[in-house]
Amino acid sequence: MRITLKQLQIFETVAERQSYTQAAKQLYLSQPAVSMQIKQLEDEVGMPVFNRIGKSIQLTDAGRELLQHARNIQIQLEEAQQSMEELRGIKRGRLHLTMASTANYFTPRLLAGFCREYPNIQISLSVANRAGLLEALENNTADMVIMGKPPANMPLAAEVFMENPLVVVAPPNHKLAGKKKVSLAEVARENFIVREIGSGTRAAVERFLATHDLERPQSLEMHSSEAIKQAVQAGLGLGVVSIHTLEMELALKRLVVLNVEDFPIMRHWHLVYRQDRHFSPVSKAFHDYVLQHADTLFGTGER
């Protein structure tokens, strides 16, 4: 096949945007030019890469297979460029990170320190729930993923770089707030605000309840730690969140951490990456920086 890099770039953009029009805008091309390049690519492949249903388009089986190869080629080109720049002594390049939403509370501090040491590196940062993190690893679209519990059914490398204690929080005027020790039975009688299904925090809490033979308390479901904290402050119930999300609320005395039996639930933050992904010089620099400096953020590090 004589497929050009330009055709692969256009194909990948159309696949991601699911629109010829949106892809054309992103690439600063006309829509007929995009359509022509896709047609030439399909002629080389010998079969359609998109199904056109009305105004919408979907990848065919051939298109999905080609998209994975296109992404791998782009990754290899970026790695080659970064390797050549490193050999020339140029400390620049790109870093693609995807992280769990809770990691947003400390990752900017890591990135700020890293960028001070490597000021010319461009960073692309995406935030996702657990399903999105697994998708990034499966599709090989991130250099590294910052997440809690790594999946066991994928060929991945995972390294612990910081503890992630999950604690029970309440408003300061809650009846349990002044107790030196709160039993699990007392907590189980309270209303709870929990994360959505698919969240790593939600899964950790459900594993904890199952281990202690407890049923999940009556609860409201929220899609972010911020929403949980706001609901707890409003008196809607108790919440379980990472200690890393509470710096401001504890300082302003808007929330308190309850001293609950068998809490905190101790989790860990991991740097996760595919075993078959070559470490670019930039990725290696970030990896080493995180393992060296993460434990200074909150004093809870473990390596």
CATH code at position 208: 3.40.190.10
**How far apart, in whole angstroms, are the C-alpha atoms of residue 276 and residue 72?**
11
Number of DSSP helices (H) and strands (E) in the chain, helices first: 12, 11
Query: Given this model, what pLDDT does residue 86 score?
Result: 65
**How far apart, in whole angstroms, are the C-alpha atoms of residue 227 and residue 248?**
15
pLDDT in tens, 130-175: 889 999 999 888 999 999 889 888 899 999 999 999 999 999 999 9
Confidence of residue 118 (pLDDT cuts 50, 70, 90): confident
What is the 3-state composition of the chain as percent helix, strand, coil, each rounded to the nearest 5?
Answer: 45, 25, 30
**How far apart, in whole angstroms, are the C-alpha atoms of residue 29 and residue 162?**
45
117 and 189 within one domain = no
pLDDT in tens, 237-280: 999 999 989 989 999 999 999 999 999 999 999 999 998 887 77
Tell me whether residue 190 is in a domain: yes
* 127 pLDDT above the threshold of 60: yes
202 and 171 within one domain = yes
Distance of CA 203 to the CA centre of its chain: 16
What domain range includes position 208? 163-267
Tell me whether residue 31 is in a domain: yes
284 and 141 within one domain = yes
291 and 151 within one domain = yes
208 and 172 within one domain = yes
- Per-residue tokens: 198: 């698919």
Query: Given this model, what pLDDT does residue 301 score?
Result: 38
Backbone Cα Rg of the chain: 23
Tell me whether residue 99 is in a domain: yes
154 and 95 within one domain = yes
* 295 pLDDT above the threshold of 80: no
Q: Cite the DSSP H helix spans in the chain.
A: 5-17, 20-27, 31-45, 61-87, 107-117, 130-139, 184-188, 200-211, 225-233, 247-251, 281-293, 295-298
Judge if pTM exceeds 0.75. Answer: no
Tell me whether residue 275 is in a domain: yes
Tell me whether residue 74 is in a domain: no
Our count of domains for the chain comes to 3
174 and 135 within one domain = no
153 and 102 within one domain = yes
Query: Residue for token digits 């999940």?
Result: 216
Tell me whether residue 78 is in a domain: no
121's CB contacts (< 8 A; 6+ apart) are 91, 92, 93, 94, 95, 114, 115, 282, 285
Tell me whether residue 179 is in a domain: yes
Tell me whether residue 79 is in a domain: no
283 and 157 within one domain = yes
**How far apart, in whole angstroms, are the C-alpha atoms of residue 131 and residue 129?**
6
Higher pLDDT, 250 or 76: 250
DSSP per-residue string spanning 2-29: ---HHHHHHHHHHHHHT-HHHHHHHHT-
* 59 pLDDT above the threshold of 80: yes
Query: Given this model, what pLDDT does residue 302 score?
Result: 38
Q: State the chain's mean pLDDT as an integer.
A: 88
Size of the chain in residues: 303
192 and 58 within one domain = no
What value, to the nearest 5°, has the Cα angle with vertex 216 and ends 233 and 199? 70
- Per-residue tokens: 257: 């951490």
**CATH number of the domain within which 13 lies:** 1.10.10.10
13 and 35 within one domain = yes
193 and 254 within one domain = yes
* 298 pLDDT above the threshold of 60: no
